[in-house]
Structure 1
Amino acid sequence: MMVYLREDFRKAWKGKDPFDAADALEGEIFRAVKTRRTLRFQLNGKSYFAKIHHGVGWGEIFKNILQLKMPVLGAENEWAALRRLKELGVDTMEPCAYGRRGKNPAKLDSFIITEDLIETESLEDFCRDWPRNPPPFALKKALVEKLAWVSRVMHENGMNHRDYYICHFLLDVSCGRENLDPDNLKASLIDLHRAQIRKKTPRRWAVKDVAGLYFSAMDIGLTHRDILRFVKVYADLPLRRALQERAGFWAAVKRKAERLYEKEHRNPKG
């Protein structure tokens, strides 16, 4: 069993079993299925998000394995990814509490609580109107370079996200949309429950991440120069070398992103 409680939660849950306390949380439900519940709740006037997991069962585990997918057994992935991103200096959620108990992988209980990222806007929403109302050049340049840097740092340090889209970056707009400082942007990476951490990121997973990011940004009015700027920062090389030495990587990213885009528009969500 492993339990971490930040001081405020240690005080609030004093004398309580942390797993029972997490199960008893009430608030705005964002997701509720048989084995997992996600909600926003208040504690001492502050807002938090909780993800509470219970055993997924062997059926779900075997189903994922047969589909060549890594099963998500609980909150451990998200906890490990949060800590890793913090170590790497990448903006993300602030962890407040975490617990994991059990040895049987099909019957694990776990929870993770993070601070609610208030006064933020997903990059998907923030950039939605760019084709009609282009942003200041410096702001767009800074955002492109920031996402390229985050992508590079993750992949250079053995981590991949698996659901890597612009909607999973929350931009701090507490100063007001019109007052954003391109030199001081904070875009927090969220939705880490499927993230993977290894000694080295396999090429196919890096391709999947970058292709997902590119696909999700295809309709926000990026120019060819914007894309080249991302390539240069991600590769951490002069542009000519980045294009020549990693030509196969960028070709694979482009193919995968275009397939995702075609699939999305062939089967649009209702």
Structure 2
Amino acid sequence: MALYLREDFQQAWAGKDAFAEAAALTGETFRHKEGRRTLRFSLGGRRYFLKYHAGIGWGEVLKNLLQARAPVLGARNEYEASLRLAALGVDTLTPAAFGERGINPARRESFLITDDLADSVSLEDYCRDWPTRPPALHERRRLMRVVTGMVRTMHEAGINHRDCYLCHFLLYPDTLAQATIDSDVRCHLIDLHRAQIRDRVPRRWQVKDVAGLAYSAMDIGLSRRDWLRCLRAYAGVPLKTALGRDRAFWLAVKQRAEKLYRKDMKREPPPWL
């Protein structure tokens, strides 16, 4: 069994079974299926998010394996990924409580409670009107550098997200408007429950993350020059070097992103990379 309780939950749950307390929490429910329940709740005048895993069962485990997908067995991945990203200076979830018990992977019980990122907005929503109401040029470029830098840092640390889309980046807009340097911007990477942690991210998982992010940004009005700036920021080398040395990687990203776009949007993607 593993258990972590921050001081606020040590006090709130003193002398109680933390797993029973987590299972009994109620609030605004966002998901409740496949053995996982996600909700926002309040405790002691503060708001939190709960992800509670009751075990997905062997049927769901086998279904995922047959689809060549790694099943999500509990909250540990998200907990460990958030700690590692925070240690690297990447804004992400802040754990307030974590618990895991049980040997059977299909019936393992776990939970993760994080601080609520109140007043933040997903980049999917924030960028939605950019084609008709473009932001200030310096703000757009700063946000592009921040997001691509976050993904680059994540991959260099051996973490891949597996759901790397604009909707999973939560921005505090005021910090972007008032920023004088990139580190002033508060943009949090969330939904890490499918994250994988290794010594090094395999290329196919890098492609998946970068292509997912590119696909989700295809309709926000970025120019070809914007895309090339993102490419350079992610590669961390001059553009000419990145396009030469990593040509096969970026071709794979382009093909995967455009395939996703055609599948979901039922139309050809706009010109981009």
Calculate the TM-score normalised by the size of structure 2: 0.94
CA distance in 2, matches of 1:34, 1:202: 28
Name the structure 1 match of 2:63: 63
Name the structure 2 match of 1:93: 93
Residues 122, 171 of structure 2: 8 Å contact kept: yes
SS in 2 for 1:221: coil
SS in 1 for 2:218: coil
Name the structure 1 match of 2:179: 181
Instruction: Summarize deviations over 1:70-93 as a string: whole Å, max 9, x none.
Output: 010011111111111112111001
Residues 169, 190 of structure 2: 8 Å contact kept: yes
Name the structure 2 match of 1:262: 262
Q: 1:142 to 1:176 in 2, by over 3 A?
A: closer
Name the structure 1 match of 2:270: none
SS in 2 for 1:29: strand
Q: 1:232 to 1:266 in 2, by over 3 A?
A: same
CA distance in 1, matches of 2:135, 2:127: 8
Name the structure 1 match of 2:36: 36
CA distance in 2, matches of 1:144, 1:182: 15
Residues 142, 182 of structure 1: 8 Å contact kept: no
Given the alignment of the two structures, is residue 151 of structure 1 paired with residue 151 of structure 2, yes or no?
yes
Counterpart code for 1:72:
V
**Post-superposition, which runs of at least 4 consecutive aligned residues in structure 1 deviate over 4 A?**
none
1:55 shift after superposition: 1.5
State the percentage of identical aligned residues. 55
Instruction: Summarize deviations over 1:212-262 as a string: whole Å, max 9, x none.
Output: 000000000001111111111111101110111101111110110000000
Task: Give the root-mean-square deviation of aligned CA atoms.
Answer: 1.3
Calculate the TM-score normalised by the size of structure 1: 0.95
Name the structure 2 match of 1:165: 165
Name the structure 2 match of 1:222: 222
Counterpart code for 2:68:
L
CA distance in 2, matches of 1:89, 1:127: 24
Name the structure 2 match of 1:243: 243
* Structure 2, unaligned runs of 5 or more: 268-273
CA distance in 1, matches of 2:128, 2:185: 18
Residues 175, 186 of structure 2: 8 Å contact kept: no
SS in 2 for 1:82: helix
Counterpart code for 2:88:
L
Residues 161, 194 of structure 1: 8 Å contact kept: yes
Name the structure 2 match of 1:14: 14
SS in 1 for 2:148: helix
1:34 shift after superposition: 5.3
1:113-152 to structure 2, matched below 5 A, reads 113-152=113-152
Name the structure 1 match of 2:53: 53
Counterpart code for 1:10:
Q
Counterpart code for 2:110:
S
SS in 1 for 2:210: helix
Residues 139, 182 of structure 1: 8 Å contact kept: no
CA distance in 2, matches of 1:187, 1:176: 9
SS in 1 for 2:164: coil
CA distance in 1, matches of 2:39, 2:151: 28
Instruction: Summarize deviations over 1:138-174 as a string: whole Å, max 9, x none.
Output: 100011111111111111111100000011000013x
SS in 2 for 1:78: helix
Name the structure 2 match of 1:103: 103
1:25 shift after superposition: 0.7
CA distance in 2, matches of 1:148, 1:29: 31
**How many residues of Structure 1 are paired with residues of Structure 2 in the alignment?**
265
1:182 shift after superposition: 5.6
Counterpart code for 1:192:
L
SS in 2 for 1:73: coil
Residues 170, 189 of structure 1: 8 Å contact kept: yes
SS in 1 for 2:87: helix
Counterpart code for 1:55:
G
CA distance in 2, matches of 1:176, 1:232: 24
CA distance in 1, matches of 2:155, 2:101: 30
Name the structure 1 match of 2:194: 194
Given the alignment of the two structures, is residue 27 of structure 1 paired with residue 27 of structure 2, yes or no?
yes
Q: 1:265 to 1:103 in 2, by over 3 A?
A: same
